[in-house]
Chain A
Amino acid sequence: MAELIVVGLIVGSIIALGAIGLTLVYGILKFANFAHGDLMTLGAYIAFLAFRTGGHLGPLSFGPGMIAAILAAMAFVAVLCVVIDRLVYRPLRRRNANLVILAMASLGMAIILRSVVYLRWGPDTHFYVTGIQQAHNFPLGTKLKPDQMFIGVVAVLSVVLVYLLLYRTKLGRAMRATADNMDLARVSGIDTEHVVVWTWLIGGSLAALAGVLLGIQSHLMPEMGFDFLLPLFSAAILGGVGSPHGALVGAFTVGVSQELSTEWISPAYKPVIAFVLLFAILLVRPQGIFGAKKQ
């Protein structure tokens, strides 16, 4: 049981990175980005492309090459998000398109990104490093591999950084103001297009990071991000759309519930657990745990 909770927290921290980006985009640009999962996939594969084996960072299965690969993937996906925004979402914003149309366009982008991954890397699974890693024993009978600890540490550090950015910088304040009311933010002198660019840079790099960590945790495959879409949306909606700390709480809830469910039902139903949580929260509290009730 303790073991499942620990694994759930690790998976939850990966979900958190994706869900925070998703909720930021949702909060500021107001549309559900169906391509977010596939941004994770692309990030994981870009890191796979950039990764050079050799050396070991302490007990980890990979060397310093992984750090470089992670940074490359984050930079690539972040810039790609801005490019996509310029080509697709901004023209639609300018046209005052219905937000649902933007969501549909993001679904088209999701299919495009995934097809590119399929075309470049094929349908087979890939690993950053092959081989089995020795797990360490911890109290309460839990076992943890060094790589999993790495995932947890990196995720926690990133979340702290995002928190500082949102709540301790001028940019963060501008982002939160834009999320509250874009028109009001604009008349207050905030360059909202600038805020949009930063939203994509942060959301995109977090998605890429989440994708790489997911790849380290298990393996790479073209559907990995799309399969993660339900947990991401569950976490974001559970916490209240637009609320980063809500997404964090939602992510751990989803991660732990998914793992704990394997105690009683088949692990094949993990994605269904995320969906059941989503359906339940929409039934009883659609604004999410931390969301303010709006009409």
Chain B
Amino acid sequence: MITSFFHDMINPAYMAGFLTLVVIYGVFAVGLNVHWGYTGIFNFGVAAFFAVGAYTTAVLTKQSASGAYQTYIGGYHLPFVVGLLGAGFVCAILAFIIGIPTLRLREDYLAIVTIGVAESLRHVFVNEGWLVNGTRGMIGIPQPLHNLVDTADYRYVYLAIAAFVLLIVYVAVERGIRSPWGRVLRAIREDEMTAEASGKNIFAFKMQAFMLGAFIMGVGGALYAHYVRAITPDTFVPMFATFLIWVMLIVGGSGNNKGAILGALVVWLIWDRTGALVSNSQDPRIFYVRNLLIGVLIVGVILLRPKGILGEEKRVSVYAGKEKERPRPVEEAPDIASAAATEDAVDGG
């Protein structure tokens, strides 16, 4: 049992595929961390950005549609990098549209609306065959640098590409969050009114964070599309494309980018290994045990370990130094709000 459980893991080819998905999910988890972990934006529609990012890059990088079973818009045959950035931009625009009515309202309305956007888009992708080939899906999405090495070894190249993208995303978000801009986001999450009283335009900051997170998720969706090369509307069901990412973030520790990536590793390990059990089992219902596990993880982490594995970093200012070296300044109101993002974050994050 145990040996079969870990048998695949010592196979380097398998390991490369496994790690590629960890890296891609790491991108999503960091994106969601910008929404939820740092700004308190309650986005339950990650699947919407996942799907739009994946389809956008497919439309941008594939050749134009040909043959009886292929109908889709675009097909511009553009380079991989353009696909990735295009996916991010389209998702940021989508976030802007969703954000207009919802970012001013109470947080849970945004959750309901985003879950609605994700479900509605899935219906559109299924029913509008002309758009992105309906249920037949987009197949043969091109892969970058494919001629560099043998097909068998290409997985290592793609792992390196995906890891490089994650590194860029990670560094960019870390820099953003350690800037004054990032501290305002955390202040908004902790206490909107205090932040507003300090003269911050709450709506503008939230919108920027929402669009940035959506951009990252779009890039994640594009990375996924180029990795699996074939996507259908069924790829973007809420369990796989939204809730799994939420579990990764809260297990790893929201408000912490390292935690988000660690969560992606831990949860994907569970998901992947239970998946292996599923394919070895005679009883197809074991598939649902995996979903049950996701639900139990969400409730369990919230009740028993609300901070996740790593928890939030208390200080994110590059000027603040270590916790014990300098006492908390009392005069700077917004800084208190962000520094207070510690114990309260048990429930807030």
- A: residues with CB less than 8 A from B are 31-32, 34, 88, 91-92, 95-101, 103-105, 107-116, 118-119, 122, 229-230, 233, 237, 266, 268-269, 271-272, 274-276, 278-279, 282-283, 286
- B120 / chain A contacts, CB cutoff of 8 Å: 271-272, 275-276
A152 to chain B, nearest CB (A): 27
A108's contact among B124, B127, B299, B306, by CB below 8 Å, is which?
A: B299
CB pair B116 A109 closer than 8 Å: no
Given contacts A107-B243, A268-B123, A286-B109, contact A279 B116 (CB under 8 A): yes
CB pair A268 B298 closer than 8 Å: no
CB pair B127 A266 closer than 8 Å: yes
CB pair B113 A99 closer than 8 Å: no
B291 interface contact, C-beta 8 A:
yes
CB pair B291 A114 closer than 8 Å: yes
A105 to chain B, nearest CB (A): 5
Whole-angstrom CA separation of A100 from B37 in the bound complex: 13
Whole-angstrom CA separation of A108 from B247 in the bound complex: 10
CB pair A91 B303 closer than 8 Å: yes
**B279-322 interface mask toward A, CB cutoff 8 Å, 1 = contact, 0 = none?**
00000010011011011111100110010000000000000000
B107 interface contact, C-beta 8 A:
yes
CB pair A105 B299 closer than 8 Å: yes
Given contacts A112-B299, A279-B101, A279-B113, contact A95 B347 (CB under 8 A): yes
Count of CB-CB pairs between chains A and B under 8 Å: 127
Given contacts A108-B299, A279-B116, contact A100 B127 (CB under 8 A): no
Whole-angstrom CA separation of A248 from B42 in the bound complex: 27
CB pair A92 B302 closer than 8 Å: yes
Whole-angstrom CA separation of A230 from B124 in the bound complex: 16
Given contacts A271-B119, A278-B113, A282-B113, contact A112 B303 (CB under 8 A): no
B2 interface contact, C-beta 8 A:
no
B40 interface contact, C-beta 8 A:
yes
- Identify the closest chain B residue to A98 (Cβ): B347
CB pair A115 B292 closer than 8 Å: yes
- A118 / chain B contacts, CB cutoff of 8 Å: 285, 288, 291
Whole-angstrom CA separation of A104 from B42 in the bound complex: 9
B112 interface contact, C-beta 8 A:
yes
Which of A32, A88, A107, A114 has its CB near the most chain B CB atoms (within 10 A)?
A107
- B296 / chain A contacts, CB cutoff of 8 Å: 108, 112
Which of B116, B124, B127, B239 has its CB near the most chain A CB atoms (within 10 A)?
B116
Q: A34-B44, A88-B303, A108-B298 are in contact. List 20 more A-B contacts (CB 8 A).
A: A100-B42, A101-B302, A103-B42, A104-B42, A107-B44, A107-B298, A108-B299, A111-B294, A112-B299, A115-B288, A115-B289, A115-B295, A118-B285, A233-B112, A237-B109, A269-B123, A271-B120, A274-B116, A275-B120, A286-B104
Which of B100, B101, B243 has its CB near the most chain A CB atoms (within 10 A)?
B101
A278 to chain B, nearest CB (A): 6
Interface of A is mostly: helix
- Identify the closest chain A residue to B98 (Cβ): A279
Whole-angstrom CA separation of A95 from B190 in the bound complex: 16
Given contacts A111-B292, A268-B126, A269-B127, contact A100 B108 (CB under 8 A): yes
- A91 / chain B contacts, CB cutoff of 8 Å: 303
B343 to chain A, nearest CB (A): 12
- B124 / chain A contacts, CB cutoff of 8 Å: 272
- Identify the closest chain A residue to B298 (Cβ): A108
A283's contact among B101, B292, B306, B346, by CB below 8 Å, is which?
A: B101
Which of B112, B123, B243 has its CB near the most chain A CB atoms (within 10 A)?
B112
B111 interface contact, C-beta 8 A:
yes
A102 to chain B, nearest CB (A): 9
CB pair B299 A88 closer than 8 Å: yes
**B94-112 interface mask toward A, CB cutoff 8 Å, 1 = contact, 0 = none?**
0000001110110111011
CB pair A31 B288 closer than 8 Å: no
CB pair B127 A103 closer than 8 Å: no
- Identify the closest chain A residue to B291 (Cβ): A115
B17 interface contact, C-beta 8 A:
no
A272's contact among B44, B102, B113, B123, by CB below 8 Å, is which?
A: B123
- B302 / chain A contacts, CB cutoff of 8 Å: 92, 97, 101, 104-105, 108
- B100 / chain A contacts, CB cutoff of 8 Å: 283
Given contacts A98-B347, A103-B111, A122-B285, contact A275 B116 (CB under 8 A): yes
Whole-angstrom CA separation of A101 from B101 in the bound complex: 22
- B108 / chain A contacts, CB cutoff of 8 Å: 31-32, 99-100, 103
- B144 / chain A contacts, CB cutoff of 8 Å: none
- Identify the closest chain B residue to A84 (Cβ): B299
Which of B42, B239, B288, B296 has its CB near the most chain A CB atoms (within 10 A)?
B288
Whole-angstrom CA separation of A99 from B347 in the bound complex: 9
A234 to chain B, nearest CB (A): 8
- B275 / chain A contacts, CB cutoff of 8 Å: none
**B312-349 interface mask toward A, CB cutoff 8 Å, 1 = contact, 0 = none?**
00000000000000000000000000000000001110
